[in-house]
Amino acid sequence: MHARMRRLADARWKGLFAALFLGALAALGQAPLGFYPVSVIAFALGLGLVLEAGSWRRAGVLGWALATGFFGVGWLWIVEPFLVDIRRHGWMAPFALILLAGGVALFWGVAAGVAARVRSEWRWLALPAALALAEYARGWAFTGFSWGGPGLAWIDTPMAQLAPWIGAQGLGALTLVGAGALYRAIYGRVTVAAWLAGLAVFVGLGIWAERRPLPPTPEDAPVLRLVQPNAPQHLKWDPDWIMTFFERALAASSAEAEGGRPDLVVWPESSLPALLGQAPAMEARAIAAAAPAPLVAGVLRRDGATYHNSIVFFDGPGEPEWVYDKHHLVPFGEYVPFGDLLSKVGIRGLAQQEGFGFSGGPGPVIRTLPGALGDVVPLICYEAIFPRDIRGAEGRSDWLMQLTNDAWFGTFAGPQQHLVQARFRAIEFGLPLARAANTGISAMIDSRGRITASLPLGAQGFVDARLPAPEPPTVYARWGDWPVIALLVAILGTLLFTARRKTR
């Protein structure tokens, strides 16, 4: 069996397609399927294929193929934005998916090639460590894209509760190390008993973390109303439909509920259908519909020649009390990278400073709300996939708030995966998170990532939910990813140094 795997690894096309297939299987652990046992087994065999490669170049190619299959299937929702206007943009959909998955997979390819330099008896550990570091790198490079890592598959298991110490990325590192060890166990290089003992420790820690006492939600905790107008993306800015969706949001905001009026009304991303300050009568209607509760809403705004994707807070009629501008923008979705630089050499039409695309705000912040609502970190859509966009806010908030428009992501995997990311942010920081989404899934999430109230995908209306209590600052909130990164660097560096000394 071992010899057969080695022959497959070095078979030019068969090995490549095997790695692609195993990566695709590993993606089945992602939402909405959540087949995490399949994911672990597929990763074990996929890593085994890379480990058996006859050269570092071949290992790099197989690592790239494994990642391309994993990201290609996990990110199938990437095609959805191009299908909103299928006649104009539909032809770009497959190219966008292939180029993004294959491009990001280069991180894994380089990591696999580096790990192949380690002595064979320790390569099973070096490869997961290198791939985990590649995952951290892709979360930072070129503003980062940390969507869909291996650790996210554990969201509905006790192991997710290790995130307050090591984060979702750390869970991904553990997943890859466990998969590498499983491959060793399959071929008898470590005993199955040893692998099972490691698994038992992993699961046991997760169960212990899950059973820790949770601060109860006070009976007088603020009630938030999360409004979901359900505006499909292809109709959202259609002049014939704009007022329909606005009226839906107004009706949901003013509706009487069994528990009485909420303490805060939250509308999703870009739900006010005009630039901030350009339609004061519409803003007044929205404020009146939420009254006597204050209103948080997503809106687009203009500041001179630049445009911002923003959140505004109204505490009664008049000007907003505060405005938050999204700072972590989507490359090629909300702006074109280097557009401002290109404008200086005569290539215009891409520059943010000239109103093409959005301009980013100054950075993550904590905003204060009245009374028991306390302090909140506002996040717009994409920002919730980056833990550093929460850690970057100075101080400690009482909760997190995400306004998003997941209509761009379709109805299958994208919205569910985005929700999983938000749930992990709540777990990592020990903070509740309120999420208002245009087409869903709107939800109140407690500090353990559990959904306490929600409105399903494609539904229209609102959900009222009490704001759960926060927990004390977590280890991850204090230190972020750096302890795990340092450990991985130490492991990989030691193994590479040892291999170099042996070759002298």
pTM, two decimals, is 0.92
Write down the catalytic residue from 135, 381, 383, 471. Answer: 381
Query: Per the structure block, which two tokens stand in for 374?
Result: 């306390």
Percent of the chain with pLDDT over 70: 93
Q: In which band, very low, low, confident or very high, does the pLDDT at 5 lie, cut at 50, 70 and 90? A: confident
- The closest of 65, 66, 61, 64 to 42, measured between CA atoms, is 66
Q: Considering only 7-11, 71-75, 85-89, 340-344, which range has the smallest mean pLDDT? A: 340-344
Query: What's the rounded Cα separation, in Å, for the pair 162 and 170?
Result: 9
- Using the predicted structure, report yes or no on whether residue 345 has a pLDDT greater than 50: no
Q: Quote the CA–CA distance of 105 and 72 in Å, as a whole number.
A: 9
Residue-level pLDDT at 18:
94
269 is catalytic: yes
**CA 266 – CA 286 distance, rounded (Å):** 11
Among 408, 346, 421, residue whose Cα is nearest residue 31: 421
The CA-to-CA distance between both ends of the chain, in Å, stands at 33
> Where does 149-270 have alpha helices with state H?
163-186, 192-210, 233-236, 242-254
| pLDDT, position 130 | 96
Q: What's the rounded Cα separation, in Å, for the pair 29 and 361?
A: 35
- CA dihedral (214, 216, 222, 223) in degrees, to 10, reads 80
Q: What is the pLDDT of residues 209-263, one digit of tens each?
A: 999 999 999 889 999 999 999 999 888 888 999 999 999 999 999 998 887 889 9
pLDDT at 348 over 70: no
Note the pLDDT of residue 344. Answer: 45
Strand partners, 455: 442
Q: Could you give the CA distance from residue 139 to residue 408 in angstroms, rounded to a whole number?
A: 21
CB 63 within 8 Å of CB 109: yes
Cα separation, 32 vs 414, in Å, equals: 9
Position 233 scores a pLDDT of 87
**Among 52, 283, 326, 334, the one annotated catalytic:** 326
| Number of residues written out for the chain | 504
- In this prediction, residue 354 carries a pLDDT of 42
Give, as one character, the DSSP assignment of residue 321.
Answer: S
Does 326 qualify as catalytic in the annotation?
yes
- Residue 1 binned pLDDT confidence (cut-offs 50, 70, 90): low
Name the more confident of 38 and 343: 38
Looking at every residue in the chain, the average pLDDT score rounds to 89
Picking from 34-48, 58-72, 274-288, 334-348, which range would have the lowest pLDDT averaged per residue?
Answer: 334-348
Of the listed ranges 10-19, 72-81, 84-93, 230-239, the least confidently predicted one is 84-93
Catalytic residue among 80, 269, 428, 471: 269
- What is the residue-wise DSSP string for 21-37? HHHHHHGGGSTTT--HH
Question: Does residue 386 or residue 336 have the better pLDDT?
Answer: 386
Instruction: Please say if the pLDDT value at position 331 is more than 90.
Output: no
Cβ proximity of 94 and 463 under 8 Å: no
